[in-house]
Structures are given as C-alpha cells and as structure tokens.
Chains A and B, each alone.
Chain A
Amino acid sequence: MKLHPVSIPYRGLSRGASVGFMLFFVSQSLAGTDAIPFALVGPTAVAIAVLGVAAVVAWEVAYYRRFEYQLGDDGLELASGVLSRRNREIPLRRIQNVDISRNVVQRALGIAAVDVETAGGGTTEASLRFVGYDEAKRLQREIQRLKRGAGGSAAEGEDGEMTASDEGAAAEEELFALATEELLLLSALSFDFRYLSLLAFGPAAVPFVPGFAELAFVGGVMLVAVLLVGLWAISSAMTFARYYGFRLTRVDDELRYERGLLQRYDGSIPLAKVQTVTLTENVLMRRVGYATLAVETAGYAPGQTPSGGSEAAVPLATRERVLGLAREIEAFDLPTFERPPERARTRYAVRYGLVLAGLAGGLFSVRELVGFPGPDFLAFAPFAPLALLTLAPVAAHLKWRNRGYAVGEDHAVTRNGFWDRTIKVVPLYRVQTVIETRTPFQRRRRWRLANVVIDTASSAGSAALAADLDRETAAELRELVGEKLQASLAERRSEGTDSSPDGTQGNARRD
C-alpha cells in the first residue's frame, strides 16, 4: 500500500518552507562576511532558496515512491527510505498501541499520521506520514482483528472460534465521555509548571521600579502573581484543547480513545498490554470527590507523548466512576492500605524540621556575610522558615497518612503523596523486578526502614513504590511479590492448556 498522495504536497510544503527559511537566514547572515566567494544578494539568495525548495520537493516525491506498507497475517511490513533503504517487519503480537493524530490542516485535507508502538527501542516503531483518515482507522481495526486471529492460531484453537462469532464490525461500547462541565472543571483545576517556558517573555512586560526595596518587594510579589495567573491561564487553555471531546470506548479487547480540539488524537490500547493502572487525585479533586485514571503500556518511550507517556487516561471523573473504569480494565479490589510504621512519621517530621533549620541557617549566614539591604521589618526574614516548624508535624502526618501498600490476590497496590495522591495498581504477573533499597538514613537503628519498588515494563511515569516499610516487612514483601509472580504465571500457563470458561477477559490477558 502507498501513502496518501496528498502527503507529497503536504510534506513538501511543511518541510520545504522550513528548509527555505533556514537557507534564507543562513545566506543572510553569511552575506556580510567573506565566508563564501560570491555575493549573496537579491537574485542569488532567491535562487539558492528556490533550489533548496526544489530539492525538498524532489526528496518528498522520492520518499512517497519508496514508501510501501503491507498489513498481513504475520505483521506490518514497511519498506521505506530514499538513500538508505529499510525493510521492517513488526510482528502483530508485539504491537502495543496504534495512534492516529490529525492537526487542523490534516483534518481539512482528510489525512492522518499513524504511529505504531512496540515495547522495544526508544522511538516509534512505524510511523506513516500520511495516510487517508479512513485508511488509518482501517489499519487500527485490522491490526486488532488480525492480532486476535494470530493469537488464536498460534497459541490455541478456541480463540479462533471466539473471534469467528463477532467477525466484521465489532461492537463499540462507550465507557466514558467527558462532559462539558467536567472539561471546564478540569481546565480550571489544571496548573502545569512545564508551561513556564512559554512565559519567558512575560516578565519584560511587568512594571518593575528599581531603587526602593519596598517597591522591589511589591514588584516581586506582583511578578509572581502575574506569572502564576499566566501559567494558570495557559495550563487551562492547553488542557481544554487537549481533552476537548474526550471519549473512551471499548471494542472487544481494546480500549479506544479520542480527544483534542485542534489536534485530534485517536488511539488504541490492547487490554492485554496493560502494565499499570494509575489513579491520581490531587487535594482539590479529593475535596470534591474526583479522580484521574491513567492506563500505562510499554509502548511509549518516557516523555515521548504530549502528556508525558500515558495517552489513555480518563482526565477527570467522579471517584466511583474512575474506580469502576479501572476495575473494568484490571479486576482488582481497592484494598485497605497498610501504612508505614509510625516511626516513619516521626522521621518525616524530623526531616522537615532539619530542612527548615538548614534554610534558616543558610539565610542567616548570608545576612551575616553580605548584610541585608532593606527596611527593618525584613531583618527577621532569615528566621521566617522557623515559623513553619509548627507545620512540620502536620506535613509529616499528612505524608504518612497518604502512604501505603497492599498485596492482593492478583495485584499489588501502592499509594503515595498528599498533594497529588497516586494509587498504582500493578498486576502481579506484570512484575519485572523487585528492588528493595535502604538509604543510610533509613538504615539507622532508630528507623530501620526500607523502600520496595515493584517495577514493570511500563514506559510512563514512575514504578510502584512502597515507601518506608519496616525492614523485615520490606524483605517479606520483596519475597512475596516474587512468589506471587511465579504463582500467577503458573496459573496462566495452566489456563492456556485447559479451556478457560471466562471469555474475553482471560483471552484478552493471556497474550
């Protein structure tokens, strides 16, 4: 199969424009020097730019002519490359996610970019730039259909029968759609420091009168306020555009999501590839009973996608709803969490106290060494951190309260964080390694604590962490998770040999 013909002019224009601009600027900056033997003025510069554009267009035509893809029973085959040719075959069983994205222009032209992710490697395994939108959807569907077929013929026969019944258009069941008020609430609640770089031009516009310390102080406060408001506005707008029209559906053993205002995303996550399910509730969301759900696979390299890994997320819904959806994906019960021992709480309080004391000491020595310019009321500023000492026990208690872990029949669950409370559900058969660590401070006889990290192949976010357990408990947990992994694998093996009664769930998860 070929790419969509419109992709030649589209790629040519978008690439050609940038190359043309670059050549133009390079020639402009070189014009005054003797770096090149001829004068770069008027017609010559234009000629070079035109040549550059022509080369780009020729390249794109060659790229189009070279690019072939074929989806068969074995997998997706790609042949591409203008100068160095590359043939690649991706086995169906290894495909993790199939993502379709279309920006405004692409939507108008009816084309889409398709990315096929596998677990290996740092980059996207196959990216089709660009195919028709219908063709993109067909690929997504076909990959799912063929994958089930391939799994059935290779592993066991019963799968084939199963798929035979629901061949053709598989029923699409809507799991979740983001309502308008939820989208607005989500936008209003979002605050992302990563957009700080976008505000780099902001401070220049802020009125700032130098000379008077008070004014500088007020200016500083104003600057921070403007920054915060700006950041909030940008974060809200970004979140709104990102999650506009969010829909999560289930088609047999796959989740599909759609989202985006300007750039439209449309992806698939096979349930069989789910590595971790993450529930996040920040302080505000906990107050109003809302939560966020993220489904992690091994498909993406960290930070590769706009939302930093997991594309399949329910951005905001009531806690019950989120829990229900999470259970649909992984059948787990939210356990009663085992908190760290109480001495861990004492340790947090001591740690916060030491940090505050250190901060005060630092500020004090700076004042002693450099002197403190400004009015008298700021003279005690170095001791301000000490006033926060009363909050240290509270903070320690909150941190301790929100931490916990539990190991159930098939899942290990961890919970961490007060500001952004995160619950990670790890299917035990997904465990890759178990790592128990003890820092020098944790090892002190007074504390005797240890951390246990339950690592999966998930490419998004951090691994599940059971923090500050009693040393013996940690060692037990480490061994327990290892044993449970073996047990669940043994169970799966026996399930594979004798026919399992539970339909899609068992089939979906075996692969």
Chain B
Amino acid sequence: METLNPRVRLAWAIGAVVTAAFLGVGAAATDRFVLGVGLWIAVTVAGLALALGLVFVVLRYRVWRFAVRDDDLYLERGVLTRVNTVVPYVRVQHVDTQRGPVERALGLSSVVVYTAGSRGADVTVPGLTPERADDLQEQLRRLAIESEREIDAV
C-alpha cells in the first residue's frame, strides 16, 4: 500500500484555513446584523472550524492509502465514513492528471481515474509528486489498454 506525499497535508490545511476564514466572516456578518453579541463569536467559530479542519486533515492523511494491484486500483479513504474502492483496469475510461494552484505551489499533483459507473464514476488520488502522478497515469493507461482488448465497457 502506498501513502500520499506528506506535503498534501499542507495543501489540505490551506483549504481548512480558507473554509475557517469564510465561516468566521459569515459569523462576523451574522453578529453585526442580527446577534450583536461581540466579535468574539466570529473568532470562536473560525477557531473551532480551523481546529476541526486540522484534525480532519491529520486523520484523512493517516487513512488515505492506495495500491496498484494486478487487476485493479485499490483505494482506502474517508475520515468519518471509511470508503474502500476497487477500480478494475478494464473499466478505466480515461486517466487525467490535475494540478491546482495550491498543488502547483507545493509541487504536488493529482490523478483522476474515470469509469463508466453510475456511482463511483471518478476517483481522485491526491497528493502525489508530479513524477509519481505522471508515472501512475502512464501505468494505469497501459494497464487499461492491456486488459481491455476488444471487450466493450458498456
């Protein structure tokens, strides 16, 4: 089983900070126009959100792992609801690599695997180094072609 690059925690933490800031601003606005109890409520809300967000980041990183197995890609993830997914290579429609602005700044990359399924139609593996992401994309692409031959996906 492979774990994600530790730097992904930083990327997620930035997301948590942004969310906490938004919630804080929202609380401040509510306080200003409705409640009027003081600015401490906004600070509390933001602080709680940030603490919770950071705990989630740590837990999510600990849970997240994946394996490139013989016939399928296997992923384990989820903080509250644990989700273990099996994606057979035969079912892979296409594979993307993605790099958002934060990921680029941190030197990270994600791989997105698409299937034709109705529920788990796309699976994202975040927190990979760009080299690993390219490797993984290439590897998955090759495995998908190898295992497919003439069988129709749908």
Contacts and interface: CB of A to CB of B under 8 A. Distances in A.
A373 interface: no
Question: What size tier do the contact residues of chain A reach?
Answer: 35 or more
Contacts of B154: 96, 119, 273, 275, 298, 457
Interface in B55-113: 71-72, 78, 80-88, 90-91
A432 B152 contact: no
Looking at A155, A275, A439, A486, the one whose CB has the most chain B CB atoms below 10 A away is A486
B116 A119 contact: yes
B88 A493 contact: no
Contacts of B82: 437-438, 443
A511 B119 contact: no
B151 A489 contact: yes
A93 interface: yes
B115 interface: yes
A443 B72 CA distance: 25
Contact of A433 (B78, B87, B147, B153): B87
A459 interface: yes
Contacts of A511: 152
Interface string A440-472: 100100000000010111110001000000000
B26 interface: no
A-B residue pairs, 6 tightest by C-beta: A432-B117, A455-B117, A457-B116, A434-B86, A436-B84, A119-B154
Contacts of B120: 432-433, 435, 453, 455
A47 to B, nearest CB: 51
A223 interface: no
A435 B85 contact: yes
A172 B88 CA distance: 38
A492 B86 CA distance: 21
B83 to A, nearest CB: 5
B81 A439 contact: yes
A482 interface: yes
A317 interface: no
A438 B114 CA distance: 23
Given A273-B154, A478-B84, A493-B149, A433 B90 contact: no
Interface in A314-369: none
Contact of A492 (B83, B147, B151): B151
Contacts of B153: 119, 457
